[in-house]
């Protein structure tokens, strides 16, 4: 059986689909992945149609995060006009809003897709699509008749799943009205991959025990539970041995919500094997309460170069009451101290544009962030009210948010307010300047505004890139070869950040494309 797995993401890092495709092929079926970046056209591109006709899949899967809901709806409409193959939707948005998604697809997959999709292919092979499948985790829409199957429990033994490749030879993508095999045109793959394809994204665990109000996990725990499921060190290292063969992979980006959730024993073994067999710089994510000195220094010694740590706000009130995140700023200070001491590059994530925040909260956040030990770098994300989260439920009840806002706006596109600019500059300008500028609107003069605007313009183009370069070089232990390759591999993303203040130009284009489609295809958005 042949299964075509489509991603509408604006970038080529499709971990979930790569995991599914690997399992489908491992179980004796065929799978191809097709990236249609931000595809939102009135008609199906002839190249896409030709590619699907030639492959002639028995099943078409579409993966979607919430932001891709309209593109998925549109693509499903276009595919139905031309092909008979049944269509299954899967991904975070489907898991969170199954009833809504089942209106458009023949099948939807709630939760993880690796085993579910294999069972569905086997059902289609042996019984055909006219017989309704009874597979846990799959809901069926048979000409309007809805059948909801029980949940498919998440896979506890992650080691039984096949490895995720960096660039599988069955990965294709649409580029300027033609379909390319990415493995045969790696330059094109790198054009769409995040950070110019210099990193391999990987998870050593699945799940997160926290239920922060703004995070999809505050809903997903209902499906996956709170337990963190862990891969063995051997499984991770063996996957990476394959990945490392591609000379373009410069570093490994571990996307686990908190890498420090691994116990000491696991980390000790990991560090020893990683250093011996992989020896590439790597990035991990940390939750301040879980950052541990011994683990941090162990990882640093094994090649850890960047730690991404969510701080979200400097105000304990907002963290505790609004975000339901029990991380006092005193703990953040302690964790930040450790990061600076270890000389890894600290990258802090903050949430802004929160309608629940008062001016006092914003000022408190800026004040606290300016106290953090330097050097550090920072990223700001717009508070997006994703469906199903605790905070969204509250905001919808209180009618303070447009229920559709998450469909049209990217988290990276922040409001250009006075406080956002000042917060952004906290790591880069002298502390004695922050204090007098950190004033409520009523007390600000034209001088404050002009000074903040010009400092922001200047800092973004000079001090920020310099600090980035410095912390990264230091995180890479001043290794000339690694630094040079990282800079060369990332110069485009770096330049985009300096010029436009966001991480991916393609994300921004996707945002604009949605706005255009809204005008061109009003029916789709009803
Ligand atoms: C790595 C990651 C990324 C990576 C790679 C994404 C990817 N597709 O692999 C990058 C950096 C590109 C990314 C970008 C964004 N991300 Co992100 N990301 C993650 C993260 C940390 C891990 C995802 C992952 O690899 N999971 C492991 C795999 C195995 O799981 P999975 O992807 O969910 O896929 C499984 C199932 O969902 C299902 N499945 C998925 N697709 C399909 C399709 C079919 C047909 C079937 C049957 C099943 C199926 O089976 C898969 C295998 O089990 C998650 C948080 C988390 N811990 O899950 C956030 C998360 C998915 N991201 C999120 C968001 C918001 C974004 C952005 C919108 C942020 C932004 N920039 O504004 C962008 C979207 C970019 C875009 N449209 O191009 C949210 C999504 C919330 C929502 N309701 O949609 C999450 C859940 C974070 C959160 N906690 O809120 N992200």
Q: Look up residue 523 and give its DSSP letter.
A: G
What is the 3-state secondary structure of 79-112? HHHHCCCCEEEECHHHHHCHHHHCCCCCEEECCC
Number of residues that this document lists for the chain: 526
Q: Is the dihedral of CA 5, 10, 13, 15 positive or negative?
A: negative
C-alpha of residue 315 to centroid of ligand 1, in Å: 28
Ligand 1 pocket mutation, candidates 29, 72, 91, criterion most atoms within 8 A of CB = 91
Ligand 1 in reach of 37 Cβ (< 6 A): no
Residue found under tokens 């469909």: 407
More confident residue, 526 or 163: 163
Ligand 1 pocket mutation, candidates 194, 216, 225, criterion most atoms within 8 A of CB = 216
pLDDT value of residue 491: 75
Where do runs of H (alpha helix) occur along 462-525?
463-475, 480-500, 505-520
Domain spanning 194-466 has what CATH number?
3.80.30.20
What is the rounded CA–CA span in Å between residue 248 and residue 196?
Answer: 10
Ligand 1 in reach of 377 Cβ (< 6 A): no
Q: What is the pTM assigned to this prediction?
A: 0.94
- CB contact at 8 A, 508 and 15: no
Ligand 1 in reach of 164 Cβ (< 6 A): no
Q: Look up residue 170 and give its DSSP letter.
A: T
pLDDT value of residue 328: 96
- CB contact at 8 A, 468 and 343: no
Give the contacts of 325 (CB within 8 A, at least 6 positions apart): 210, 212, 213, 312, 319
Ligand 1 atom 20: residue of nearest CA: 255
Ligand 1 pocket mutation, candidates 3, 8, 16, criterion most atoms within 8 A of CB = 16
Give the pLDDT band (50/70/90) at residue 118. very high
C-alpha of residue 480 to centroid of ligand 1, in Å: 34
Ligand 1 in reach of 90 Cβ (< 6 A): yes
C-alpha of residue 13 to centroid of ligand 1, in Å: 10
Pairing state of beta strands 107-109 and 138-142?
A: antiparallel
From the list 203, 225, 223, 231, the residue with the least C-alpha distance to 109 is: 223
Whether omega for the bond prior to residue 375 falls within 30 degrees of 0, making it cis, is: yes
What is the rounded CA–CA span in Å between residue 78 and residue 93?
Answer: 20
Ligand 1 in reach of 296 Cβ (< 6 A): no
Ligand 1 atom 40: residue of nearest CA: 91
The closest-lying atom of ligand 1 relative to the alpha carbon of residue 66 is: 84
CA end-to-end span of the chain, whole Å?
36
pLDDT value of residue 410: 67
Ligand 1 in reach of 63 Cβ (< 6 A): yes
Tens-place pLDDT, residues 284-333? 999 999 999 999 999 999 999 999 999 999 999 999 999 999 999 999 99
The closest-lying atom of ligand 1 relative to the alpha carbon of residue 155 is: 53
Tens-place pLDDT, residues 367-418? 999 999 999 999 999 999 999 999 999 999 999 988 877 776 666 678 889 9
Q: 3-class DSSP state for residue 33?
A: strand
Q: What are 436's two structure tokens?
A: 């007098």
Element (H, E) at 377: strand 377-382
What is the rounded CA–CA span in Å between residue 352 and residue 350?
Answer: 7
The residues spanned by each domain of the chain are 2-160, 194-466
Mean pLDDT of the chain: 92
Give the contacts of 257 (CB within 8 A, at least 6 positions apart): 205, 207, 208, 210, 217, 285, 287
Ligand 1 in reach of 93 Cβ (< 6 A): yes
What is the rounded CA–CA span in Å between residue 379 and residue 309?
Answer: 10
Q: Check whether 502 has a pLDDT greater than 50.
A: no
Give the pLDDT band (50/70/90) at residue 169. very high
Ligand 1 atom 17: residue of nearest CA: 65
Q: What are 345's two structure tokens?
A: 């590059």
C-alpha of residue 112 to centroid of ligand 1, in Å: 12
Ligand 1 in reach of 8 Cβ (< 6 A): no
Give the pLDDT band (50/70/90) at residue 510. confident
Which of 239-248, 273-282, 412-421 is the least confident region? 412-421
If one counts every other C-beta atom within 10 angstroms of the C-beta of residue 457, the result is: 11
| Burial group, residue 240, by CB count within 10 angstroms (0-12, 13-18, 19+) | buried
Ligand 1 atom 18: residue of nearest CA: 255
CA atoms within 13 A on the CB side of 329: 19
Ligand 1 atom 37: residue of nearest CA: 91
Domain spanning 2-160 has what CATH number?
3.40.50.280
C-alpha distances (whole Å) from 293 to each of 102, 297, 325, 412, 435 are: 47, 6, 22, 31, 31
Ligand 1 in reach of 207 Cβ (< 6 A): no
């Amino acid at each position: 059986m042949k299964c075509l797995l489509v991603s509408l993401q604006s970038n080529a890092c499709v971990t979930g689909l790569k995991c599914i495709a690997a399992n489908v092929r491992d179980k004796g079926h065929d799978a191809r992945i097709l990236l249609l970046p931000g595809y939102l056209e009135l008609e199906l591109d002839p190249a896409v149609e030709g590619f699907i006709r030639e492959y002639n899949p028995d099943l078409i899967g579409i993966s979607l995060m919430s932001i891709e809901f309209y593109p998925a709806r549109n693509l499903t409409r276009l595919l139905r006009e031309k092909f008979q193959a049944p269509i299954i939707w899967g991904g975070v948005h489907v898991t969170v809003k199954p009833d809504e998604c089942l209106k458009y697809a023949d099948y939807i997959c709630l939760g993880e897709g690796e085993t579910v999709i294999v069972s569905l292919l086997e059902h289609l092979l042996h019984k055909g699509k006219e017989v309704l499948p009874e597979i846990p985790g799959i809901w069926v829409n048979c000409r309007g008749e809805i059948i909801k199957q029980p949940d498919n429990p998440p896979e506890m033994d992650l080691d039984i799943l096949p490895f995720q490749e960096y660039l599988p030879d069955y990965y294709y993508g649409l580029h300027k009205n033609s379909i390319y095999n990415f493995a045969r045109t790696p330059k094109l793959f790198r054009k769409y991959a995040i950070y110019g394809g210099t990193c391999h994204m990987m998870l050593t665990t699945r799940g997160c025990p926290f239920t922060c109000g703004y995070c999809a996990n505050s809903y997903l725990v209902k499906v996956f539970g709170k337990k963190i499921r862990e891969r063995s060190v051997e499984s991770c290292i063996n996957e990476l041995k394959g990945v490392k063969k591609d000379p373009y992979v410069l570093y490994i980006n571990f996307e686990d919500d908190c890498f420090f959730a691994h116990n000491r024993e696991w980390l000790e073994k990991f560090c020893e094997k990683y250093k011996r067999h992989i020896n590439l710089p790597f990035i991990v994510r940390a939750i301040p309460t879980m950052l541990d000195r011994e683990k941090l220094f162990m990882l640093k010694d094994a090649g850890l170069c960047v730690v991404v740590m969510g701080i979200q706000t400097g105000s304990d009130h907002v963290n505790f009451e609004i975000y339901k995140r029990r991380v006092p700023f005193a703990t953040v200070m302690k964790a930040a101290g450790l990061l600076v001491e270890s000389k890894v590059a600290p990258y802090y994530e903050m949430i802004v544009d929160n309608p629940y925040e008062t001016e006092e909260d914003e000022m408190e956040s800026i004040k606290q962030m300016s106290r953090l030990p330097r050097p550090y770098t920072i990223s700001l994300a717009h508070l997006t009210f994703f469906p199903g989260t605790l905070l969204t439920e509250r905001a919808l009840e209180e009618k303070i948010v447009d229920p559709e806002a998450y469909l049209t706006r990217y988290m990276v596109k922040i409001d250009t307010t006075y406080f956002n600019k000042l917060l952004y500059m906290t790591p880069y300008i002298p502390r004695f300047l922050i204090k007098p500028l950190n004033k409520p609107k009523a007390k600000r003069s034209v001088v404050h505004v002009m000074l903040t605007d010009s400092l922001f313009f200047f800092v973004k183009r000079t001090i920020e890139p310099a600090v980035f370069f410095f912390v990264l070089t230091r995180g890479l232990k001043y290794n000339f070869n690694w630094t040079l390759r990282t800079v060369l591999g990332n110069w485009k993303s770096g330049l985009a950040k300096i010029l436009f203040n966001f991480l991916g130009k393609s994300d921004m284009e996707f945002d604009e494309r949605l706005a255009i489609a809204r005008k061109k295809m009003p029916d789709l958005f009803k």
